[in-house]
């Protein structure tokens, strides 16, 4: 079992690592979180995880970048994303909005508890919830041009193999049945690594349980045969997987999952802190309404709402919350 999230030689990356680990200690406020599953939320984000990210400076750099993307802090990425969405008639929302909306769906429908319960029953890391968010933003209607569909984005052939799809029914959008299938698939991927040990003459004691799950995640995103090629070259050590991956998407996949975890952790910490006094003004009330709905608003509507909030604060001669100003500036630039 690993006892640190990352380990590096440079002071810069050691400092970032310590901040990530210390947040587990500094924010153990499960009972204060604004959701019924507050204890589970605290376990997922603020206590040592069941699954640790790949080691190495390059992986940490990518995790931080994905965290920035899912926190509306990478303006170049969002400019490119929105250009693509405009050209293809897709609703104008950022990756951050879609992720946060997916998180709320998980909580409101009690699906987070369902996934966690099934993980415990099957001895599988509960961090698979972040894999599901990476796949679909927990949207049952999510569909890819390649044919993947549902919460866990099963392709038709894989869905048939795991009992989700037949001539009469398609259960890829069923939360419990698709989660059962995703867990079976991930466990099968995990067990594949043990077969690769025998096939490639790798000492199984040199591959940790944690690393086997990382390989299982990569195999979920790509064909196991292509992942096996990297497993052989790296002798089961995943830290430099991105060098040997067949595609940028697969190379970034696991780091993206951990970036999502860090972005949501920051969002949860921020959500806990009330920005308003005990006696909120009308502008504060309007801003509260915005904070409860911003992730569902198309960006033009969101910008209009923020500008109205700003006008209300000015009219009431009250200081404008810094995040209102920041969001107005950010959205104006990416639109």
Quick: pLDDT tens for 176-205. 999 999 999 999 999 999 999 999 999 999
Looking at the structure, tell me whether residues 194 and 293 fall in a common domain.
no
8 Å CB contact between 254 and 213 = no
Query: Which positions ≥6 away from 276 have C-beta within 8 Å?
Result: 284, 287, 288
Of 174, 215, 175, 165, the residue nearest 191 (C-alpha):
215
Residues of the chain with pLDDT under 70: 1-38, 274-277
Looking at the structure, tell me whether residues 203 and 290 fall in a common domain.
no
3 lies in some domain: no
The CATH number of residue 188's host domain is 1.10.530.10
113 lies in some domain: yes
The count of domains in the chain is: 2
pLDDT, residue 109, reads 87
Looking at the structure, tell me whether residues 197 and 101 fall in a common domain.
yes
Distance, CA of 323 to CA of 303 (rounded, Å): 13
Distance, CA of 181 to CA of 159 (rounded, Å): 8
1 lies in some domain: no
Looking at the structure, tell me whether residues 236 and 300 fall in a common domain.
no
pLDDT, residue 24, reads 38
5 lies in some domain: no
Distance, CA of 141 to CA of 150 (rounded, Å): 6
Looking at the structure, tell me whether residues 242 and 282 fall in a common domain.
no
Looking at the structure, tell me whether residues 60 and 109 fall in a common domain.
yes
Looking at the structure, tell me whether residues 253 and 106 fall in a common domain.
yes
Looking at the structure, tell me whether residues 280 and 267 fall in a common domain.
no
Q: How many CB atoms lie within 10 A of CB 219?
A: 23
Q: Please tell me whether residue 98 adopts helix, strand or coil conformation.
A: helix
pLDDT, residue 250, reads 87
What average pLDDT is seen over the chain? 88
Alpha helices in 27-145 (DSSP H): 38-45, 57-69, 75-87, 95-108, 111-122, 128-136
Give the domain extent around 248. Answer: 11-273
Distance, CA of 194 to CA of 19 (rounded, Å): 34
pTM over cut 0.75: yes
193 lies in some domain: yes
pLDDT, residue 37, reads 60
Half-sphere exposure for 315 (CA within 13 Å, toward CB): 10
Distance, CA of 276 to CA of 282 (rounded, Å): 11
2 lies in some domain: no
Distance, CA of 305 to CA of 314 (rounded, Å): 14
Looking at the structure, tell me whether residues 95 and 165 fall in a common domain.
yes
């Amino acid at each position: 079992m690993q006892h640190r999230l990352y380990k590096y030689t440079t002071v810069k990356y050691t400092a970032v690592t310590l901040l990530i680990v210390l947040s587990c200690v500094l924010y153990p406020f499960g009972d204060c979180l604004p959701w019924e599953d507050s204890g589970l939320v605290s376990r997922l984000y603020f206590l040592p995880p069941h699954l640790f990210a790949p080691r190495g400076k390059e992986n940490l750099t990518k995790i931080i970048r994905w965290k920035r993307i899912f926190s509306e802090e990478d303006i170049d990425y969002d400019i490119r994303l929105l250009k693509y969405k405009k050209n293809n008639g897709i609703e104008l929302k950022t990756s951050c909005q879609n992720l946060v909306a997916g998180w709320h769906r998980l909580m409101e429908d009690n699906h987070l508890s369902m996934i966690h319960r099934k993980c415990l029953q099957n001895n599988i890391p509960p961090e698979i919830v972040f894999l599901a968010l990476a796949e679909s933003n927990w949207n049952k209607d999510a569909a890819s041009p390649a044919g993947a569909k549902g919460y866990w984005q099963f392709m038709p052939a894989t869905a048939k193999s795991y009992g989700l799809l037949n001539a009469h029914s398609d259960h890829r959008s069923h939360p419990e049945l698709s989660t059962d299938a995703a867990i079976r698939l991930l466990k099968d991927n995990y067990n594949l690594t043990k077969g690769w040990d025998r096939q490639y003459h790798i000492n199984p004691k040199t591959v940790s349980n944690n690393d086997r799950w990382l390989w299982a995640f990569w195999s979920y995103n790509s064909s196991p045969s292509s992942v096996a090629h990297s497993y052989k070259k790296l002798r089961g050590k995943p830290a430099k997987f991105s060098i040997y991956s067949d595609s940028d998407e697969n190379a970034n996949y696991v780091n993206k999952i951990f970036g999502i975890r860090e972005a949501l952790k920051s969002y949860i910490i921020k959500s806990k802190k009330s920005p308003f006094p005990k006696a909120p003004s009308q502008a504060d009330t309007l801003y509260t309404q915005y904070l409860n709905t911003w992730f569902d608003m198309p960006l033009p509507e969101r910008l209009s709402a923020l500008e109205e909030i700003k006008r209300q604060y000015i009219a009431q001669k009250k200081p404008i919350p810094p995040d209102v100003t920041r969001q107005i500036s950010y959205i104006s630039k990416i639109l």
